[in-house]
């Protein structure tokens, strides 16, 4: 629907065309209420007009939020994790605005319909104060949105910020002889691992089982002639494989080749045990994807999607910062969900099935201020 309507405008999406409705209508409604209180309570048209404009403001805010939610998913996939945090902050304030304005409009309409003689002056005065708070929230939301466009240039120019590739720890990957020596820390704090086919010792030394789990379901696959990159693992069951260190807000990325594999692969974040972790999973070969968290009470699905998987390598990424969670395929957001922030935990890979999974690269990007 959003894509169809966007075809009638030269804008990158519908959000810029709709955001001005709450910016204009909400202050107008508040002015109607103020004039009603100041001029004469007998001016019924001001009272009824305020209720109508509040309703229009609520509808306009809802439309702007709907368009913004879809625009955010279409834009954030290729953004740096830090910029994605800014997009999430803008979205949070927009959500506060839509709830506040919707409740305000409903109460204001009820007062206008119930009190046809316009005698509830105190109630209208109180609602005017609430409207002024709502105006402040809307303008805060607009300020954050303006910063995304004019400061960070999202949807104006190429907003993908190249992540620094200069390592500050770890030797050159080609010169390293052990898997741990190919684990590189970049200037932004990221951990990057680009394994080689012969990294047999990686299992258990670099890729460790989640607490409470084991590595019985995975084994090193001896490389065949001509294999020049990546670590192949034979999979026969389920395992969660974690890199060193724990993270709070984080983005995890991996490039995988799925050679005659059937089952589920994915990314793990905020893992503290086999019963407490965040997951972004994709079923092979069907392409069914899910974004979820697991806890002692079971698994909670935050979102689902279905895609056509590439025939060669698959590039997956999961973003988890605050209450925002996104699963990405080839730099495009395919599933988006919300939940309360998770406690710090480990990050890595999930494999669950049978066949061969080749790890071409694995990266963990901490998101800090």
Q: Is residue 164 included in any domain, yes or no?
A: no
Same domain flag for 132 and 215? no
Whether residues 239 and 342 fall in one domain: yes
Same domain, 210 and 343: yes
Helix (H, G, I), strand (E, B) or coil at 116: coil
CA-wise closest residue to 346 among 235, 230, 219, 213: 213
Residues 225 and 339 in one domain: yes
Residue by residue, DSSP assigns 52-114 as: HHHHHHHHHHHHHHHHHHHHHHHHHTTS-HHHHHHHHHHHHHHHHHHHHHHHHHHHHHHHHHH
Domain match, 143 and 207 both: no
Q: Domain span at residue 335?
A: 177-366
Q: Are residues 119 and 207 in the same domain?
A: no
Domain of 257, CATH number, reads 2.60.120.560
39-46: long-range pairs with CB below 8 Å, 24+:
41/118, 41/119, 41/121, 42/118, 44/118
In a domain, 265, yes or no: yes
Q: Which residues contact 134 (CB under 8 A, 6 or more apart)?
A: 26, 97, 100, 101, 104
Residue 51 three-state SS = helix
| Statement to judge: residues 104 and 205 lie in one domain | no
Cα distances (Å, whole numbers) of residue 86 to 50, 145, 152, 211: 34, 9, 9, 33
The answer as to whether 222 is a domain residue is yes
- Listed as ranges, residues in the chain with pLDDT below 50 are 1-2, 4-6, 8, 157-168, 170-175
Q: Say if 167 falls within a structural domain.
A: no
Tell me the pLDDT tens digit for each residue of 215-260. Answer: 999 999 888 766 678 899 999 999 999 998 999 999 999 999 987 8
Rounded CA-CA distance 188/163 in Å is 7
Residues 142 and 195 placed together within one structural domain of the fold = no
Specify whether 100 is located in the same domain as 181: no
Residues 232 and 356: beta-carbon distance below 8 Å = yes
User: What is the maximum alpha-carbon separation in the chain?
Assistant: 90
Give domain status of residue 343, yes or no.
yes
Q: Same domain for 210 and 248?
A: yes
**277 assigned to some structural domain:** yes
Separation of CA 169 from chain center? 29
Q: 329 in a domain, yes or no?
A: yes
Do 139 and 235 fall into the same domain?
A: no
Residues 135 and 10 in one domain: yes
327: its two tokens = 């699963």
Q: How many domains does the chain have?
A: 2
| Final residue belonging to a domain, choices 113, 135, 151 | 151
**Number of C-beta neighbours around residue 192 at 10 A:** 21
pTM above 0.85, yes or no: no
The pLDDT of residue 306 is 93
192: helix, coil or strand? strand
Residues 6 or more apart from 295 whose CB is under 8 A from it?
275, 276
- Whether 63 is covered by a domain: the verdict is yes
Domain boundary among 151, 168, 192: 151
Radius of gyration of the chain measured on its C-alpha atoms: 26
């Amino acid at each position: 629907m959003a894509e169809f309507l966007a075809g009638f405008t030269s804008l990158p999406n519908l959000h810029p065309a709709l955001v001005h409705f709450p910016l204009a209508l909400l202050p107008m409604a508040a002015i109607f209420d103020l004039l009603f209180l100041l001029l004469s309570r007998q001016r019924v048209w001001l009272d009824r007009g305020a209720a109508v404009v509040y309703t229009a403001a609520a509808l306009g805010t809802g439309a702007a939020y709907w368009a913004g939610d879809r625009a955010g998913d279409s834009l954030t996939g290729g953004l740096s994790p830090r910029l994605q945090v800014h997009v999430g902050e803008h979205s949070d304030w927009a959500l506060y605005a839509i709830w506040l304005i919707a409740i305000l409009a409903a109460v204001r309409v009820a007062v206008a319909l119930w009190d046809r003689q316009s005698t509830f002056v105190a109630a209208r005065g109180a609602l005017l104060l609430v409207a002024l708070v709502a105006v402040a929230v809307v303008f805060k939301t607009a300020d954050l949105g303006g910063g995304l466009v004019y400061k960070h240039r999202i949807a104006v120019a190429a907003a993908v910020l190249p992540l620094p590739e200069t390592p500050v720890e770890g030797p050159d990957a080609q010169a390293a002889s052990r898997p741990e020596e190919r684990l590189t820390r970049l200037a932004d704090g990221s951990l990057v691992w680009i394994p080689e086919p012969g990294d047999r010792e990686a299992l258990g030394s670099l890729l460790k089982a989640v607490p409470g789990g084991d590595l019985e379901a995975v084994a090193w696959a001896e490389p065949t002639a001509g294999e020049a990159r990546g670590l192949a693992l034979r999979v026969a069951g389920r395992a969660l494989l974690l890199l060193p260190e724990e993270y709070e807000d984080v983005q995890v990325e991996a490039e995988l080749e799925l050679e005659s594999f059937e089952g589920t692969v994915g990314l793990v974040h905020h893992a503290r045990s086999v019963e407490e972790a965040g997951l972004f999973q994709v079923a092979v070969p069907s392409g069914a994807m899910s974004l979820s968290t697991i806890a002692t009470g079971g698994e909670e699905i935050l979102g689902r999607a279905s895609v056509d998987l590439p025939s060669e390598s698959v590039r997956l990424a999961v973003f988890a910062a605050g209450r925002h969670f996104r699963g990405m395929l080839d730099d495009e957001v395919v599933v988006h969900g919300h939940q309360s922030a998770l406690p710090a935990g480990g990050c890595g890979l999930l494999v669950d099935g049978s066949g061969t999974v080749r790890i071409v690269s694995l990266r963990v990007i901490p998101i800090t201020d």
